[in-house]
Amino acid sequence: MKKGLFCFSLMAAAFAVNAQKVAFTEFNLKNGLHVILHQDKTAPVVAISVMYHVGSKDEQPNRTGFAHFFEHLLFEGSDNIKRGEFMKIVSSNGGQNNANTSQDRTFYFERFPSNQLATGLWLESERMLHPVINEIGVKTQNEVVKEEKRLRVDNQPYGNFVAEIMKRLFINHPYRWVPIGSMEHLDAATLQEFQAFNKKFYTPKNAVLVVTGDLDIPKTKALVEGYFQDIPGGEVIVKTKFEEAPITKEIVDTAYDNNIQLPAIMEAYRIPGMTSKESKALEMASAVLSQGNSSRMFSKMVDTKKNSLQVGSFSYSLEDYGAYIMYALPNNDTPLDTLLKDMDDEIAKLQTELISEKEFTKLQNQFENNYVSANSTMLGVAENLADGYTFYNKNTGHINSELEEIRKVTRQDIQNVVKKYLNKNQRVVLYYLPKK
């Protein structure tokens, strides 16, 4: 291990042991906007973020892709920001900005020198109060989204594998489509439909504003009130609850990809959502199998047997449900069924044998280091504070209890969740093949 990396690991471990609570102030404006402020004066920077509780699961089956589309569309401008000027204002004031969308939420953010805090708040208030949603903006961003889909999905090797998994793992829930959605649906949508989607979801009552960094709490609170409190609150959104019947018989299917030469074997299991107490144990089970070159699947299939070029597993945790996905790419024409058996053997070991104390200590260190890394930037803290309020029953302080949740997971907990959720009669097996 390199000296610098070793030192970082020691510091991260020390920080995790003596982790300081993230202090924050939170309040609601009269329009329903929830506001969270966190002061950290270690650097003269601030992060301003708004998380809207809207993702692809809030779309209609014949109008998928709307939430991701709005990730782009709401940079078009506002009544007071000319088209194309939003990002120019950010960069000319020394800032950076971006956004991302998932199945469950949309997250916008800016990073600025702390003396530009008011600029960032103004920009986000403009985006929330009166964005310009017109034909030219919709047409422009439609082309941008199409190009993104071509680049990241349609022309990317294995770019569609998550979409192929999800549409077999979910039947009723909107998780059956992915955030990029359908270009045909976006083409067919009217301007009025886009405007209605904005009016419903991008409102104070469906948002959390988080400001972190080098700020004065009373002054920032006054700025927030000045920029945001007169924005109409919007309607309270009642989320539709979608239930999935348990998978009781193995689903085996085949999908084809124009962009690959090597096939892959994949297996996926439906698991509980992110707030479940079992979610962290499932993440740890995944790390045992495939996190790092010393993980079980990598060591067995890539290093020792050399029948795989690449293996992996991950616990894809979402708000309502999750997906536990495993995959392998063959080496030297190894049959896909051989790789499937090897993966199944490793699951069986987790179901029948507790992981060793040495392996468990390493696992705990990995997850504590991940916790430290996730909260090592002002933006990371902002997102985790917003996540706590949005997804953990308005528990903003979840950021401060997560480390304890990690430490409470036992070896028996890991064995129990693998026994409960990773069984052959509960899964999708997908043969992912080159299209001839």
**What global pTM score does this model have?**
0.94
Amino acid 147: pLDDT: 96
Q: Give the dihedral sign, CA 232/233/238/244.
A: positive
Amino acid 13: pLDDT: 44
Amino acid 403: pLDDT: 95
CA distances for 277 relative to 20, 85, 354, 422, angstroms:
23, 45, 19, 16
Amino acid 62: pLDDT: 97
Q: What is the three-class DSSP state of 138?
A: helix
- Rounded CA separation 225/227 (Å): 6
Cβ pair 281, 416 in contact under 8 A: yes
- Rounded CA separation 81/31 (Å): 23
* Residue-wise pLDDT tens digits, 381-391: 999 999 999 99
Cβ pair 168, 104 in contact under 8 A: no
Q: Report DSSP letters for 255-266, one per residue.
A: EEETT-SS-EEE
For Cα atoms 386, 391, 393, give the angle at the middle one, nearest 5 degrees.
Answer: 105
- Rounded CA separation 31/205 (Å): 7
- Rounded CA separation 247/177 (Å): 18
Amino acid 436: pLDDT: 76
Amino acid 10: pLDDT: 42
Return the exposure string of 312-337: e unless at least 16 CB atoms fall within 10 Å of the residue's CB, then b: bbbbbbbbbbbbbbbbbbbbeebebe
For residue 330, give the nearest of 319, 322, 318, 341 by alpha carbon: 341
Amino acid 20: pLDDT: 73
Q: What is the mean pLDDT of the chain?
A: 94
In the chain, which stretches have pLDDT less than 70? 1-19
The backbone region for 428, taken as left when phi is positive above 0, alpha when psi lies in -120 to 50, beta otherwise, is beta
Residue type, 251: I
Amino acid 19: pLDDT: 58
Burial class (CB in 10 A: 0-12, 13-18, 19+), 421: buried
Residues 6+ apart with CB under 8 A from 34: 26, 27, 28, 207, 208, 209, 389, 394
